[in-house]
Amino acid sequence: MLPQALHDVIHANETLLWWLAGTSLLTFIATLLLVPLLLTNLPADYFCHGKRHRAPWAHHHPLIRGVLLIGKNILGTLFFMAGLLMLFLPGQGLLTMVMGIVLLDLPGKYRLESWLISRRPILRGINWLRLRAGKPLLIIGREEEHS
């Protein structure tokens, strides 16, 4: 049985809690669909370079680049914040936070991604997904090490 004070808080914020639960469910489904899609569409040599690849929109007009960059960072921030909330609500909090970090432009992010991807269990899981999708396995390390 819930204490009366907690019951009153839940009853007073019922609409907000339903919105949070719906957002949590929607984000959970989005991560289940988007993470495999993103991981299987990475080029096999994505992590072979010492630096980040140029963004696909790098050749567009500066205004378009700016809008896309701002939109990507806003989306990344929203995913990160939703992930933080999901640490306390139902949903994939850590996975959603990681997805948000991947979208954000942060210093040292490529090094962090490369380090994470080089962990054997993570690489094994990603390569399993890639094999099922008919994609080549990810190559880890610098280009010169594989030549």
CB 83 within 8 A of CB 94: yes
pTM of the model as a whole: 0.59
* Residue 143: band (very low, low, confident or very high) from pLDDT cuts 50, 70, 90: very low
> Which structural domain range is residue 122 located in?
4-146
Per-residue model confidence as pLDDT tens digits over 75-115:
889 888 887 887 776 666 776 777 778 788 888 888 887 88
Provide the domain count of the chain.
1
Q: How far apart are the first and last CA of the chain?
A: 65
